[in-house]
Protein backbone atom coordinates (compact mmCIF):
# COMPACT_ATOMS: atom_id res chain seq x y z
CA UNK A 1 0.00 0.00 0.00
CA UNK A 2 1.27 3.48 -0.76
CA UNK A 3 2.72 5.33 2.22
CA UNK A 4 0.50 8.40 2.67
CA UNK A 5 3.59 10.56 3.15
CA UNK A 6 5.07 9.55 -0.21
CA UNK A 7 2.36 10.54 -2.66
CA UNK A 8 2.43 13.15 -5.40
CA UNK A 9 1.68 15.66 -2.66
CA UNK A 10 4.94 14.82 -0.93
CA UNK A 11 6.52 18.26 -0.95
CA UNK A 12 3.38 19.99 0.26
CA UNK A 13 2.84 17.32 2.88
CA UNK A 14 6.44 17.70 3.99
CA UNK A 15 5.81 21.38 4.64
CA UNK A 16 2.61 20.48 6.48
CA UNK A 17 4.43 18.00 8.70
CA UNK A 18 7.16 20.51 9.45
CA UNK A 19 4.50 23.08 10.33
CA UNK A 20 2.66 20.55 12.52
CA UNK A 21 5.87 19.75 14.40
CA UNK A 22 6.68 23.42 14.87
CA UNK A 23 3.13 24.20 16.03
CA UNK A 24 3.20 21.26 18.43
CA UNK A 25 6.24 22.92 19.97
CA UNK A 26 4.43 26.24 20.27
CA UNK A 27 6.39 27.84 17.47
CA UNK A 28 3.58 29.07 15.22
CA UNK A 29 3.51 32.59 16.56
CA UNK A 30 5.18 34.14 13.57
CA UNK A 31 8.85 33.29 14.21
CA UNK A 32 10.64 31.85 11.22
CA UNK A 33 14.03 30.41 10.50
CA UNK A 34 16.53 32.45 8.55
CA UNK A 35 16.25 31.95 4.81
CA UNK A 36 19.18 31.83 2.41
CA UNK A 37 19.68 34.96 0.28
CA UNK A 38 17.95 34.83 -3.09
CA UNK A 39 20.05 32.95 -5.61
CA UNK A 40 22.40 31.56 -2.98
CA UNK A 41 22.82 27.83 -2.45
CA UNK A 42 21.70 26.98 1.07
CA UNK A 43 24.24 25.13 3.19
CA UNK A 44 23.07 21.74 4.49
CA UNK A 45 21.24 22.07 7.79
CA UNK A 46 23.12 20.22 10.50
CA UNK A 47 21.39 17.83 12.91
CA UNK A 48 23.12 15.65 15.49
CA UNK A 49 21.54 12.24 16.17
CA UNK A 50 22.54 10.11 19.17
CA UNK A 51 22.05 6.35 18.83
CA UNK A 52 21.66 4.13 21.89
CA UNK A 53 23.28 0.98 20.51
CA UNK A 54 25.64 -0.36 17.86
CA UNK A 55 24.74 -0.27 14.15
CA UNK A 56 22.16 -3.05 13.89
CA UNK A 57 18.90 -3.62 11.98
CA UNK A 58 16.94 -1.51 14.48
CA UNK A 59 18.64 1.51 12.86
CA UNK A 60 18.26 0.24 9.31
CA UNK A 61 16.10 3.13 8.10
CA UNK A 62 18.57 5.69 9.44
CA UNK A 63 21.52 4.12 7.67
CA UNK A 64 19.53 3.67 4.46
CA UNK A 65 18.44 7.31 4.49
CA UNK A 66 22.07 8.28 4.95
CA UNK A 67 23.40 5.82 2.35
CA UNK A 68 20.84 6.74 -0.30
CA UNK A 69 21.27 10.47 0.21
CA UNK A 70 17.70 10.95 1.46
CA UNK A 71 18.79 13.33 4.23
CA UNK A 72 20.98 15.26 1.81
CA UNK A 73 18.13 15.47 -0.70
CA UNK A 74 16.18 17.44 1.90
CA UNK A 75 19.13 19.70 2.65
CA UNK A 76 20.16 17.94 5.87
CA UNK A 77 23.59 16.98 7.14
CA UNK A 78 22.97 14.39 9.86
CA UNK A 79 25.85 13.61 12.21
CA UNK A 80 25.56 10.31 14.07
CA UNK A 81 26.95 9.94 17.58
CA UNK A 82 26.23 7.90 20.73
CA UNK A 83 26.25 4.12 20.99
CA UNK A 84 25.97 1.48 23.75
CA UNK A 85 25.60 3.09 27.14
CA UNK A 86 25.12 6.60 25.77
CA UNK A 87 22.83 8.69 28.03
CA UNK A 88 20.71 9.68 25.06
CA UNK A 89 17.81 11.30 26.93
CA UNK A 90 20.22 13.43 28.95
CA UNK A 91 22.17 14.35 25.80
CA UNK A 92 18.99 15.54 24.09
CA UNK A 93 17.74 17.38 27.15
CA UNK A 94 21.10 19.15 27.58
CA UNK A 95 21.09 20.26 23.95
CA UNK A 96 24.25 18.28 23.14
CA UNK A 97 22.32 16.75 20.23
CA UNK A 98 19.10 17.76 18.52
CA UNK A 99 17.81 14.19 18.14
CA UNK A 100 18.26 10.84 19.85
CA UNK A 101 16.95 7.28 19.98
CA UNK A 102 15.18 6.11 23.13
CA UNK A 103 12.18 4.07 24.27
CA UNK A 104 8.73 5.50 24.90
CA UNK A 105 8.85 4.60 28.59
CA UNK A 106 12.06 6.63 28.89
CA UNK A 107 10.23 9.61 27.44
CA UNK A 108 7.38 9.38 29.95
CA UNK A 109 9.76 8.88 32.88
CA UNK A 110 11.90 11.82 31.75
CA UNK A 111 8.88 14.10 31.49
CA UNK A 112 7.79 13.07 34.97
CA UNK A 113 11.18 14.33 36.18
CA UNK A 114 10.83 17.69 34.51
CA UNK A 115 12.43 17.04 31.13
CA UNK A 116 10.75 18.41 28.02
CA UNK A 117 11.82 15.69 25.58
CA UNK A 118 9.19 14.55 23.10
CA UNK A 119 8.96 11.77 20.52
CA UNK A 120 8.60 12.61 16.83
CA UNK A 121 8.89 9.12 15.26
CA UNK A 122 8.32 5.58 16.53
CA UNK A 123 10.30 2.91 14.69
CA UNK A 124 8.82 -0.17 16.36
CA UNK A 125 5.06 -0.30 16.57
CA UNK A 126 5.40 -3.44 18.68
CA UNK A 127 8.29 -3.74 21.08
CA UNK A 128 11.04 -6.10 19.87
CA UNK A 129 11.98 -6.85 23.48
CA UNK A 130 11.31 -10.46 24.41
CA UNK A 131 12.06 -13.34 26.74
CA UNK A 132 13.95 -16.24 25.16
CA UNK A 133 13.53 -19.78 26.49
CA UNK A 134 14.43 -23.24 25.27
CA UNK A 135 11.61 -24.63 23.15
CA UNK A 136 11.95 -27.96 24.98
CA UNK A 137 10.28 -26.38 28.01
CA UNK A 138 7.02 -26.56 26.06
CA UNK A 139 5.61 -23.23 27.27
CA UNK A 140 2.91 -21.74 25.08
CA UNK A 141 2.91 -18.22 26.52
CA UNK A 142 4.60 -15.99 29.07
CA UNK A 143 1.88 -16.88 31.56
CA UNK A 144 2.58 -20.61 31.11
CA UNK A 145 6.33 -20.04 31.31
CA UNK A 146 6.22 -18.14 34.59
CA UNK A 147 3.71 -20.61 36.06
CA UNK A 148 5.97 -23.53 35.23
CA UNK A 149 8.72 -25.17 37.27
CA UNK A 150 10.87 -22.04 37.21
CA UNK A 151 14.54 -21.63 36.50
CA UNK A 152 16.89 -18.70 36.03
CA UNK A 153 15.67 -15.46 34.48
CA UNK A 154 18.35 -13.05 33.24
CA UNK A 155 17.04 -9.50 32.91
CA UNK A 156 18.11 -5.97 33.70
CA UNK A 157 16.67 -5.42 37.20
CA UNK A 158 14.54 -2.34 37.63
CA UNK A 159 13.44 -1.99 34.02
CA UNK A 160 9.75 -1.07 33.75
CA UNK A 161 8.83 -4.28 31.95
CA UNK A 162 10.48 -6.35 34.71
CA UNK A 163 8.41 -4.52 37.31
CA UNK A 164 5.37 -5.17 35.11
CA UNK A 165 6.19 -8.89 35.10
CA UNK A 166 6.52 -8.86 38.89
CA UNK A 167 3.08 -7.25 39.14
CA UNK A 168 1.39 -9.49 36.59
CA UNK A 169 3.02 -12.90 37.14
CA UNK A 170 4.21 -15.03 40.04
CA UNK A 171 7.99 -15.12 39.69
CA UNK A 172 8.63 -16.82 43.02
CA UNK A 173 9.88 -19.98 41.31
CA UNK A 174 12.47 -18.03 39.34
CA UNK A 175 15.94 -16.92 40.31
CA UNK A 176 16.38 -13.47 38.78
CA UNK A 177 19.94 -12.59 37.80
CA UNK A 178 21.44 -9.64 35.88
CA UNK A 179 21.46 -9.92 32.11
CA UNK A 180 25.03 -10.49 30.85
CA UNK A 181 24.63 -9.33 27.21
CA UNK A 182 25.65 -12.84 26.10
CA UNK A 183 23.85 -16.01 24.99
CA UNK A 184 26.58 -18.24 26.44
CA UNK A 185 24.84 -18.81 29.82
CA UNK A 186 21.60 -19.60 27.98
CA UNK A 187 23.28 -22.14 25.73
CA UNK A 188 24.66 -23.99 28.75
CA UNK A 189 21.50 -24.04 30.88
CA UNK A 190 18.27 -25.64 29.59
CA UNK A 191 16.32 -24.05 32.46
CA UNK A 192 17.43 -20.51 31.70
CA UNK A 193 15.39 -17.68 30.20
CA UNK A 194 16.77 -14.29 29.26
CA UNK A 195 15.77 -10.95 27.85
CA UNK A 196 16.44 -10.44 24.15
CA UNK A 197 15.86 -8.23 21.14
CA UNK A 198 14.29 -10.36 18.44
CA UNK A 199 16.88 -9.04 15.99
CA UNK A 200 19.89 -10.32 17.94
CA UNK A 201 20.14 -12.97 20.66
CA UNK A 202 17.61 -15.52 19.33
CA UNK A 203 19.37 -15.49 15.97
CA UNK A 204 22.77 -15.95 17.62
CA UNK A 205 21.47 -18.79 19.81
CA UNK A 206 19.86 -20.59 16.87
CA UNK A 207 23.01 -20.29 14.78
CA UNK A 208 24.94 -21.91 17.64
CA UNK A 209 22.71 -24.96 17.70
CA UNK A 210 20.06 -24.03 20.24
CA UNK A 211 16.31 -24.15 19.66
CA UNK A 212 15.14 -20.85 21.17
CA UNK A 213 11.55 -19.79 21.58
CA UNK A 214 10.78 -16.10 22.08
CA UNK A 215 7.80 -14.55 23.81
CA UNK A 216 7.44 -10.83 23.15
CA UNK A 217 7.14 -8.66 26.25
CA UNK A 218 4.18 -7.06 24.45
CA UNK A 219 2.27 -10.29 25.07
CA UNK A 220 2.08 -9.26 28.74
CA UNK A 221 0.24 -6.06 27.87
CA UNK A 222 3.27 -3.80 28.33
CA UNK A 223 4.15 -2.59 24.86
CA UNK A 224 5.89 0.79 24.65
CA UNK A 225 6.98 2.20 21.33
CA UNK A 226 10.66 1.37 20.89
CA UNK A 227 13.49 3.08 19.04
CA UNK A 228 11.62 6.37 19.06
CA UNK A 229 13.30 9.51 17.77
CA UNK A 230 13.23 12.17 20.48
CA UNK A 231 13.98 15.88 20.60
CA UNK A 232 13.25 18.87 22.83
CA UNK A 233 10.42 21.27 22.26
CA UNK A 234 13.04 24.00 22.23
CA UNK A 235 14.67 22.23 19.28
CA UNK A 236 11.29 22.07 17.55
CA UNK A 237 10.82 25.79 18.08
CA UNK A 238 14.26 26.51 16.65
CA UNK A 239 14.45 23.75 14.01
CA UNK A 240 10.87 22.63 13.34
CA UNK A 241 11.21 22.60 9.56
CA UNK A 242 14.43 20.65 9.45
CA UNK A 243 13.19 18.12 12.03
CA UNK A 244 10.06 17.69 9.91
CA UNK A 245 12.29 17.07 6.90
CA UNK A 246 14.32 14.59 8.95
CA UNK A 247 11.16 12.63 9.79
CA UNK A 248 10.10 12.49 6.16
CA UNK A 249 13.57 11.38 5.03
CA UNK A 250 13.57 8.76 7.77
CA UNK A 251 10.21 7.43 6.59
CA UNK A 252 11.64 7.11 3.09
CA UNK A 253 14.72 5.40 4.52
CA UNK A 254 12.64 2.87 6.41
CA UNK A 255 10.43 2.21 3.40
CA UNK A 256 13.51 1.48 1.32
CA UNK A 257 15.09 -0.64 4.07
CA UNK A 258 11.97 -2.74 4.51
CA UNK A 259 11.86 -3.30 0.75
CA UNK A 260 15.57 -4.18 0.49
CA UNK A 261 17.73 -4.18 3.63
CA UNK A 262 20.89 -5.48 1.96
CA UNK A 263 22.57 -2.16 1.02
CA UNK A 264 22.21 -0.57 4.45
CA UNK A 265 23.08 -3.88 6.13
CA UNK A 266 26.39 -3.84 4.26
CA UNK A 267 27.11 -0.33 5.56
CA UNK A 268 26.23 -1.28 9.14
CA UNK A 269 28.16 -4.55 8.85
CA UNK A 270 31.34 -2.64 8.07
CA UNK A 271 30.83 -0.64 11.26
CA UNK A 272 29.71 -3.55 13.45
CA UNK A 273 31.89 -6.56 12.68
CA UNK A 274 30.43 -8.53 15.59
CA UNK A 275 27.48 -9.39 13.34
CA UNK A 276 27.88 -11.14 10.00
CA UNK A 277 25.81 -10.57 6.88
CA UNK A 278 23.47 -13.49 7.55
CA UNK A 279 22.69 -12.23 11.06
CA UNK A 280 21.90 -8.80 9.64
CA UNK A 281 19.62 -10.41 7.04
CA UNK A 282 17.78 -12.51 9.59
CA UNK A 283 17.47 -9.59 11.99
CA UNK A 284 15.92 -7.38 9.33
CA UNK A 285 13.38 -10.09 8.50
CA UNK A 286 12.52 -10.69 12.17
CA UNK A 287 11.79 -7.05 12.90
CA UNK A 288 9.84 -6.18 9.74
CA UNK A 289 6.34 -7.02 11.12
CA UNK A 290 7.12 -5.01 14.26
CA UNK A 291 8.02 -1.92 12.23
CA UNK A 292 5.22 -1.99 9.66
CA UNK A 293 1.70 -3.02 10.59
CA UNK A 294 -1.90 -2.11 9.74
CA UNK A 295 -1.64 1.13 11.75
CA UNK A 296 1.41 2.39 9.86
CA UNK A 297 -0.07 1.30 6.54
CA UNK A 298 -2.92 3.69 7.28
CA UNK A 299 -0.99 6.52 8.92
CA UNK A 300 2.61 6.22 7.73
CA UNK A 301 5.76 4.61 9.10
CA UNK A 302 6.72 5.96 12.50
CA UNK A 303 3.19 7.15 13.35
CA UNK A 304 2.00 7.17 16.97
CA UNK A 305 -1.39 7.22 18.67
CA UNK A 306 -2.54 9.10 21.75
CA UNK A 307 -4.17 5.91 23.05
CA UNK A 308 -0.84 4.06 23.15
CA UNK A 309 0.87 6.89 25.03
CA UNK A 310 -2.05 7.14 27.46
CA UNK A 311 -1.91 3.41 28.18
CA UNK A 312 1.84 3.54 28.80
CA UNK A 313 1.57 6.53 31.14
CA UNK A 314 -1.18 4.78 33.10
CA UNK A 315 0.89 1.58 33.41
CA UNK A 316 3.99 3.42 34.62
CA UNK A 317 1.84 5.24 37.18
CA UNK A 318 0.40 1.92 38.37
CA UNK A 319 3.93 0.58 38.80
CA UNK A 320 4.81 3.50 41.05
CA UNK A 321 7.42 4.81 38.62
CA UNK A 322 5.80 8.22 38.16
CA UNK A 323 5.42 10.86 40.84
CA UNK A 324 2.51 12.49 39.04
CA UNK A 325 0.14 11.97 36.14
CA UNK A 326 1.93 12.72 32.87
CA UNK A 327 -0.19 14.15 30.07
CA UNK A 328 0.18 11.59 27.25
CA UNK A 329 -0.47 14.30 24.66
CA UNK A 330 2.70 16.07 25.82
CA UNK A 331 4.89 13.05 25.12
CA UNK A 332 4.88 13.27 21.34
CA UNK A 333 4.75 15.99 18.72
CA UNK A 334 2.73 15.08 15.66
CA UNK A 335 -0.94 15.31 14.67
CA UNK A 336 -2.94 13.09 17.01
CA UNK A 337 -3.82 9.80 15.30
CA UNK A 338 -6.67 7.66 16.52
CA UNK A 339 -6.55 4.02 15.49
pLDDT of residue 97: 96
Rounded Cα–Cα distance for residues 298 and 322 (Å): 32
207 lies in the same domain as 58:
no
pLDDT tens figures, 285-327? 999 999 999 999 999 999 999 999 999 999 999 999 999 999 9
Of the listed ranges 6-20, 139-153, 198-212, the least confidently predicted one is 6-20
114 lies in the same domain as 258:
yes
Instruction: Report the Cα–Cα distance between both ends of the chain, in Å, rounded.
Output: 17
pLDDT of 232 over the 60 cut: yes
Using the 3D structure, point to which of 167, 197, 220 is the last residue of a domain.
Answer: 220
In a domain, 253, yes or no: yes
122 lies in the same domain as 147:
no
In a domain, 317, yes or no: yes
pLDDT of residue 238: 87
pLDDT tens figures, 116-148? 999 999 999 999 999 999 999 999 999 999 999
* pLDDT band per the 50, 70, 90 thresholds, residue 157: confident
Average pLDDT over the chain, rounded to an integer: 89
In a domain, 337, yes or no: no
pLDDT tens figures, 75-121? 999 999 999 999 999 999 999 999 999 999 999 999 999 999 999 99
291 lies in the same domain as 168:
no
In a domain, 161, yes or no: yes
101 lies in the same domain as 151:
no
306 lies in the same domain as 324:
yes
pLDDT of 14 over the 70 cut: no
228 lies in the same domain as 154:
no
212 lies in the same domain as 234:
no
In a domain, 31, yes or no: yes
In a domain, 1, yes or no: no
User: What CATH number corresponds to the domain at position 26?
Assistant: 3.40.190.10
160 lies in the same domain as 101:
no
pTM higher than 0.85: yes
245 lies in the same domain as 288:
yes
118 lies in the same domain as 144:
no
Note whether 17 and 5 are within 8 A (CB). Answer: yes
In a domain, 95, yes or no: yes
Domain that holds residue 152: 129-220
- What is the average pLDDT across 254-263? 98
Torsion angle defined by CA atoms of residues 166, 159, 323 and 27, in that order, rounded to the nearest 10 degrees: -140
Using the 3D structure, point to which of 220, 252, 284 is the last residue of a domain.
Answer: 220
33 lies in the same domain as 154:
no
Using the 3D structure, point to which of 220, 246, 274 is the last residue of a domain.
Answer: 220
Quickly count: other Cβ atoms within 10 Å of residue 10's Cβ.
Answer: 14
Largest CA distance in the chain: 73
What is the number of structural domains in the chain?
A: 2
In a domain, 216, yes or no: yes
Amino acid sequence: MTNPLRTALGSALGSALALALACAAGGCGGETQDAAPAGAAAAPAGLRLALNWKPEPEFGGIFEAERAGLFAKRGLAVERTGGPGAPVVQMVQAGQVELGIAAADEVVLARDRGSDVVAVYATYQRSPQGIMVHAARGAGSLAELFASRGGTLAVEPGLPYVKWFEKRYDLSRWKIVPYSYSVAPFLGDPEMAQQVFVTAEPIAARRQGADPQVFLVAESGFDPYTAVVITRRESLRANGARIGDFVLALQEGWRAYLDDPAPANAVMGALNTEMDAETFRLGAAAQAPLVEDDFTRRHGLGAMSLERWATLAKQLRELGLLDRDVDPQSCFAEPVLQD
